[in-house]
Amino acid sequence: MPDLTGKRVAIITGDHVEEPELVGPRDRLREAGAEVLVLSRDGAPVQAVEGDVEPTRRIEVDGAYEDLDADAIDALVVPGGTVNADRLRTDERAQTLARKVAGSGKPLAVICHGPWLLVSSGLVDGFRLTSWPSLQDDIRNAGGHWVDAEVVVDRNLVTSRKPDDVPAFVEALARLLAAG
């Protein structure tokens, strides 16, 4: 993994986030030297789950993404979990953040059900990406090219399918961040 010292990454999330898709990127990026902020809508801790339905633990966050300035970060990460992703996709602030990061050319890394935020934000048209398989129709209907792969990088967009893909997902994001 490249050295990410000096890089600032925000992870936006809510309740019922898939724990390994939040904790894996957070911890691995921090180990590589990045400053990683985990942000919920209101700054309250979030309930993590495993397999969408089994509660695991509450995870402390660093603040509210409502207060996040997209210009102050180097990358944005959106973990999955069906309920978490469904709530993020309808949140105007989350959509605005995703659009700003995508428009700036900064890495936008989204896993599992997280691409719903991209669909609802109008950000998949013309992109090649992956996700949890049940999202493929949504992605195709929004103009994206869905593929079944561990990780897909298309310009500044990094996508993966599931918790097992977290190592490849983080590595691809780290390479993009290190490149600049």
Query: Active-site residue numbers?
Result: 113
Q: What are 177's two structure tokens?
A: 């961040």
What Cα–Cα distance (Å) separates residue 138 from each residue in 16, 149, 164? 21, 17, 22
- Give CA–CA dist 92/14, Å, rounded: 14
Q: What are 88's two structure tokens?
A: 């993020």
- Give CA–CA dist 81/145, Å, rounded: 22
């978490």: which residue's tokens? 84
End-to-end alpha carbon distance in the chain: 15
